[in-house]
Structures are given as C-alpha cells and as structure tokens.
Amino acid sequence: MTHGERSGKRRRRGLSRPPSSMPAPAGFTRLEQNEPMNTLRISVGGLPMLASMASTTDPRFRLKWRPIVAVAFSLAVLLLLFIHLSMGLRSRSYDSHSWGPSHSDTQWSDSHYNDTYPLSRPEQTPQGTRYRIGVIADLDTSSRSDKKLTWFSYMRRGHLLVSQSGDKVSVEWDADRVVLESHLSEKGRGMELSELVVFNGKLYSVDDRTGIVYQIDGDKIVPWVILPDGDGSVAKGFKAEWLAVKDKHLYVGGLGKEWTTTQGEFVNNNPEWVKVVGFRGDVQHENWVPKYKSLKSAAGIEPPGYLIHESAAWSDILQRWFFLPRRASKERYEETARHEPRP
C-alpha cells in the first residue's frame, strides 16, 4: 500500500470518527446538523467575542440604548453650552447713549482684549449715517477748581452726521456737559486732558501734566496708569499729547520734539519717547528719536527747524502711521506763542 493510500484511509477514518465525549464548556451551543455555518459561536466567559458575528436574537448581546442616548444628549448639551458661552464672551452690547462698557462687557476677563469699536453702533438715517462722538477739554491753567485740591475738565458728547453722498457733515451736541474732576496734580496743575481714545472697549484720556492715563466711566474719571517722562526713569510726569491704538496696545506720544529752553537751546530728548501700554496696564518705553527725525526729513525740515505733534493715528487697513503736526518751522525754536509748552 502506497503512502498516499495510507494517508487517504487515515483521513477517511478521521471523518467517520464519532463525536467527542468531552463535555462542552458553559455557554457553548452545539450546531444542529442542517444549521448554516455562517454564525460564529465563539464565546468568552459566556459572552460573544465578536458581536458582529453573534446572533441578533442573542439576549446576552443587547445594546443599552437608554444610557447611550443619555450620554450623547449630555455631551451635545455641554457642547452647545460651550459654544454659547464662547460667543457670548465675544459679543458686545451697544448703547447709543452710553460711553462706558455694558454690563456684559464688565464680565469680560482681563486676560482677553476687547476690540469693540465704536462703543456705540452707528445709526442709518434717511439723511445719512449718524455717529456718536465726544470731545475733551484741555483747560491748561484754568483747570483748577474753586474746590480745595480739585482739578477738572469738560467732556461734551453729541452726534456726527455724514450724508449719504459723503460730501456733507453736521454735528449735534447733547444739551448736558459732563464735568470730570480729579484730586491728582503735579506742581499745582492737573486734568489738562489732551486726547480721547477707545481702547480695550473703554474710553481713555491722558493728562499732559501728570502723565496719568484716566479711564472715563460716565461722569467719573479713574486713574489707570502713570507714565513717567523720557525712558521711564525720570521723576516727572510724561507730557502726553496724543493717543493711538495699534496691535492691542495704546501708544501715548508727546511733542515729538527735543526739549529746549525758551531760546531753543537743547535740554533733553524726553518728549521724543513713546509709551506703549498693554491692555492689562503694563508699560514699555520706546525711543522714537529716529522716527521723529524721519518725519522732519519727510517734511523737508532740517535742524534747527522742528515739528511739534499733538495728533497721531495708526491705520490698521493701510498699516501706516499718520501725523498732523500742530506747528512746523525751518527756523530755530522760540517760545513766543502764549500756549507753547513750558517745563
């Protein structure tokens, strides 16, 4: 008998071998003779090992739909709540007659910058677009009040109307005038406010005598930061003349001209420094001497000529600075005008 014949006989004998008498483990179900083989009956610990292969009628493998639905619903609610809170924090409330942050804005964390501008939503009218505006007064030496140790300034509010064609403007002032008072001064002078600006969703002004940046909240004025002169190590308030907002920072600038005597003799470059204030109140001191020299050169002014600045703005759209000098001369500086700055 050949080897192949012996192997074939062994295989035939294996097929005709009677069922094993070994007891089946718990959970094992014996296949019937005509039952199809497409259902894999593998179980571990009495539970199906591969659910996709288990019988759909197997009571041991039923999805717990109620807990699954409850968990999914809870996750959906949490997600919607998170989105709502995130959008709520970024939303801004406008009040056409308000100059302070709304109640929702006061909840905004100090860790986030508030880019709301303008504070009041422009109104569309048949005559054109109506903007809420405000102006502040620099009363110079007249800012001292009759009240003891009190200095004051005026703020006026109104509306600026720009026609539909854009070629006409008109101003309407509110009947009331806001009086702002402070008890802070330097050498008997204070509250000589130079500028108004919206920064971090709030209204600010700056005193050109003390170097104090004030926050204006309704008819209250609250000191925020104090800016020392020059590089920040000078024991004198910074003579601030302009405010501008750039890259979530408040830029505070001075005259942009070297400090001189009344006869034009050089003293220092302190007015040519610029203060960069973060929305949390941190202050950096930047030397702008080269920048101010570039401005003079662009205007065709060389020493001993000068430019005096009291207005500057940064354009986010054009990514450029714009300056409107108060005074320009190609001659040596002389303090002749009554309102020229004095030390």
The residue segments making up the domain with residue 147 are 95-103+112-226
For residue 151, is it within any domain? yes
241 is known to lie in a ligand binding site: yes
For residue 3, is it within any domain? no
In which residue are the tokens 């192949």 written?
4
| Cis ω before 118 (30° cut-off from 0) | yes
Longest dimension (CA), the chain: 135
What's residue 31's pLDDT? Answer: 47
Domain count, the chain: 2
104 is known to lie in a ligand binding site: no
194 is known to lie in a ligand binding site: yes
Could you tell me if 150 and 128 are in contact, meaning their C-beta atoms sit under 8 angstroms apart? no
Residues 331 and 251 in one domain: yes
Residues 183 and 203 in one domain: yes
User: How far is Cα 45 from Cα 197, in angstroms, rounded to an integer?
Assistant: 74
What's residue 107's pLDDT? Answer: 52
Residues 197 and 212 in one domain: yes
What's residue 12's pLDDT? Answer: 44
- Of 197, 226, 255, the position where a domain reaches its end is 226
154 token code pair = 């005026």
Domain of residue 152, CATH code? 2.120.10.100
* pLDDT 10s digits, 74-132: 888 777 777 766 655 444 444 444 455 554 555 544 689 999 999 999 999 999 999 99
Task: Dump strand ranges (E) for the chain.
Answer: 43-44, 47-48, 123-125, 128-136, 151-163, 169-173, 178-182, 193-199, 202-207, 212-217, 220-226, 242-246, 249-253, 259-260, 266-268, 273-278, 283-287, 306-315, 320-329
211 token code pair = 């170097």
Residues 255 and 181 in one domain: no
Q: How do strand 151-163 and strand 169-173 relate by DSSP bridges?
A: antiparallel
Residues 211 and 258 in one domain: no
Overall pTM > 0.85: no
What's residue 191's pLDDT? Answer: 98
User: How far is Cα 27 from Cα 42, in angstroms, rounded to an integer?
Assistant: 9
Q: How many CB atoms lie within 10 A of CB 207?
A: 31
What's residue 64's pLDDT? Answer: 66
What's residue 120's pLDDT? Answer: 94
Residues of the chain with pLDDT under 50: 2-20, 27-29, 31-33, 35-56, 89-98, 103, 108-109, 337-343
Q: Which residues, other chains included, contact 254 with Cβ-Cβ below 8 Å and sequence gap of 6+?
A: 238, 239, 240, 241, 270, 271, 272, 273, 274, 309
What's residue 275's pLDDT? Answer: 99
What's residue 69's pLDDT? Answer: 73
What's residue 264's pLDDT? Answer: 87
Residues 203 and 324 in one domain: no
Helices (H), strands (E): how many in the chain?
4, 19
340 is known to lie in a ligand binding site: no
For residue 28, is it within any domain? no
